[in-house]
Amino acid sequence: MIVDLHSHTTASDGILTPTELVKRAVNNQIDILAITDHDTVKGLPEAQQVIKDEKLPLKLVCGVEISTIWKNNEIHIVGLNIDIENAELVALLLSQEQRRIKRAIAISEKLAKLHIEDAYTQAQQFAKGDIVSRAHFARFLVANGWVKDVKQAFKKYLGKSGYAYVPTQCCSISDAVNTIHAAGGQAVLAHPTRYDLTLTKLKLLIADFKDCGGDAIEVSQSRQTQDDLQKLAKLANQFELLASQGSDFHDLVNYLDLGKTTPLPGSVTPIWHNWSLD
Ligand code: AMP
Ligand code: MN
Ligand code: MN
Ligand code: MN
């Protein structure tokens, strides 16, 4: 069975529309796909509709990837099997969206001071009317020749040491986990090895996540060494957490293709072990 529980569409900063993403998943013979856009569930109805209309052989899991702040680090919490109409979830996502808009305007103001004009409007065009993220600013900076690629856009302007960095204002891990649970879902700590934390700090993060009621950690993810996979499997078991896997697919340049993560080691319990698959 092929399972991918972390992916993005044009509803956030992925390059494929929900329809294109779902079709790619079917082509890649995926059995279970979660769409987990940043702080939004707006891509899901279109994906559900196309699966229904075209009777596609795919189980779609309603998901979201919520940005949170923990000890000054931006930590992502994925929610799986959520009710996308749940009032608490809708309210949290609305406040996250408002914070994102404020941040995008602040980034644009910083870029203007560097004589990079009109960045917010331009980034909005890359976002095609949906929420603007730093990934859209990066695409604008590349398209206009300010940098040679997205990586450099983050290094020079948008990342933590960039000229136009604006820290995220987002909710806490406990807000995210509680809201995911209120919406009937399970909470997963996304890509634990991508936060540049020492092992000691990473264990502290996982312990705090567990204390907040977190259910699982991503063990198999994009851009990962075998060592990291084994390390995360061990941590999942040590903290009695379930294991998830996901490509974090946004595009084919910077991420793994859908469904192409390494299978989970037999030592962990997959988060989908007790899901009903009809
Ligand atoms: P935001 O959610 O607005 O903070 O934007 C973060 C998004 O930008 C992430 O979800 C990634 O898709 C992308 N991103 C972050 N850092 C990098 C990087 N160094 N290179 C390429 N993309 C990045
Ligand atoms: Mn992203
Ligand atoms: Mn993430
Ligand atoms: Mn992601």
Integer Cα distance of 189 and 233 in angstroms = 13
| Closest ligand 1 atom to 67 CA | 2
User: How remote is the CA of residue 115 from the centroid of ligand 4, in Å?
Assistant: 31
pLDDT of residue 174 exceeding 90: yes
User: How remote is the CA of residue 160 from the centroid of ligand 4, in Å?
Assistant: 18
Ligand 1, residues 74, 105, 134: which to mutate, most atoms within 8 A of Cβ? 134
Residue 253: predicted pLDDT: 86
| Protein residue with its CA nearest to atom 21 in ligand 1 | 151
> pLDDT for 150-162, tens place per residue?
999 999 999 999 9
Query: 């065009």: which residue's tokens?
Result: 125
User: How remote is the CA of residue 242 from the centroid of ligand 2, in Å?
Assistant: 24
Rounded alpha-carbon distances, angstroms, from residue 160 to 27, 111, 140, 194, 195 = 37, 15, 19, 14, 12
| Protein residue with its CA nearest to atom 23 in ligand 1 | 135
By three-state DSSP, how is residue 242 classified? strand
Q: What ligand has the least distance to the C-alpha of 100?
A: 1
Rounded alpha-carbon distances, angstroms, from residue 241 to 71, 116, 206, 247 = 22, 45, 9, 20
Helix (H) or strand (E) holding 249: none
> pLDDT for 32-69, tens place per residue?
999 999 999 999 999 999 999 999 999 999 999 999 99
Residue 169: predicted pLDDT: 87
| Protein residue with its CA nearest to atom 7 in ligand 1 | 135
**Strand 59-70 with 32-35, pairing:** parallel
Residue 276: predicted pLDDT: 87
**Strand 73-80 with 186-189, pairing:** antiparallel
Average pLDDT, stretch 106-130?
95
Ligand 1, residues 78, 126, 133, 251: which to mutate, most atoms within 8 A of Cβ? 133
- Hey, what amino acid is at 208? D
User: How remote is the CA of residue 8 from the centroid of ligand 4, in Å?
Assistant: 6
User: How remote is the CA of residue 250 from the centroid of ligand 2, in Å?
Assistant: 7
Structure tokens at 255: 């991420």
Average pLDDT for the chain: 96
> pLDDT for 136-152, tens place per residue?
999 999 999 999 999 99
| Closest ligand 1 atom to 39 CA | 2
pLDDT of residue 168 exceeding 90: no
pTM (two decimals):
0.97
Q: What string of DSSP letters covers 31-78?
A: SEEEE--BT--TTHHHHHHHHHHTT-S-EEEEEEEEEEEETTEEEEEE
User: How remote is the CA of residue 221 from the centroid of ligand 4, in Å?
Assistant: 10
Domains, the chain = 94-158 (1.10.150.650)
Helix (H) or strand (E) holding 117: none
pLDDT of residue 114 exceeding 80: yes
Q: What ligand has the least distance to the C-alpha of 76?
A: 3
Residue 129: predicted pLDDT: 77
Enumerate residues lining ligand 1, CB below 6 A. Answer: 13, 38, 67, 133-135, 150-151, 154, 159, 168, 250, 254
Residue 251: predicted pLDDT: 93
User: How remote is the CA of residue 271 from the centroid of ligand 2, in Å?
Assistant: 22
Integer Cα distance of 25 and 36 in angstroms = 14
Integer Cα distance of 50 and 80 in angstroms = 20
> pLDDT for 185-220, tens place per residue?
999 999 999 999 999 999 999 999 999 999 999 999
